Structure 1
Amino acid sequence: MTSARWSRGEYTTVLLAILAGTTALLTASGQTWASGSVVLPDPLAPASVALSGDEVTRTVSALGWAGLAGVAALVASRGKARRVLGVPVAGFGAVAAYDIWHSTRGSELTRLASEQSAVDGPISGPTVHTAWPVLAAAGAVLLVAAGVATVVRGGAWPVMGSRYDRHGSADANRAGEPAELWKTLDSGVDPTLGPVSDDVTAESSSATATSAPATDTNVDSKES
Structure 2
Amino acid sequence: MSNSTPRPVRREYLAALALLALGVVALLAAAPQVWAAVRIDLAEDLAPVTVELSAAELAPVSSALGWTALAALAAVVATRGAARRAVGALVVLLGVGAGTAVVLGIRPTALAAAAEQATTVEGTLGDPAVAWQWPVLAGAGAVLLCVAGVLTLVRGTAWPVMSSRYDRHSAPRATRTGAPADLWRSLDSGADPTDENAEPKER
Matched, 1:71 2:73: yes
Does the CA contact (< 8 Å) of 1:38 and 1:117 recur in 2?
no
Q: Distance in 1 between matches of 2:169 and 2:158?
A: 21
The structure-2 alpha-carbon separation of the partners of 1:51 and 1:183, relative to structure 1 and needing over 3 Å to count, comes to: closer
- Greater relative contact order, per chain length (Cα 8 Å cut-off, separation 6+): 2
What TM-score do you get using the length of structure 1 for normalisation? 0.75
Partner residue of 1:180 out of 154, 177, 185:
185
Does the CA contact (< 8 Å) of 1:29 and 1:53 recur in 2?
yes
Q: Distance in 2 between matches of 1:132 and 1:164?
A: 44
Does the CA contact (< 8 Å) of 1:113 and 1:126 recur in 2?
no
The percent identity for this pair of structures is 42
- In terms of Rg, which structure is larger? 1
What TM-score do you get using the length of structure 2 for normalisation? 0.83
Following TM superposition, by how much is the alpha carbon of 1:94 offset from its aligned partner in structure 2, in angstroms?
A: 0.5
Matched, 1:112 2:117: no
* Greater percentage in helix: 1
How many residues are matched?
185
Q: Distance in 2 between matches of 1:85 and 1:167?
A: 25
Following TM superposition, by how much is the alpha carbon of 1:114 offset from its aligned partner in structure 2, in angstroms?
A: 1.3
Per the alignment, in what secondary structure is the counterpart of residue 160 of structure 2?
Answer: coil
RMSD, aligned CA: 2.4
The structure-2 alpha-carbon separation of the partners of 1:48 and 1:5, relative to structure 1 and needing over 3 Å to count, comes to: same
Partner residue of 1:162 out of 148, 161, 164:
164
Alignment of 1:27-66 (within 5 A): 27-66=29-68
Q: Distance in 2 between matches of 1:150 and 1:111?
A: 38
Alignment correspondent of 1:140 = 142
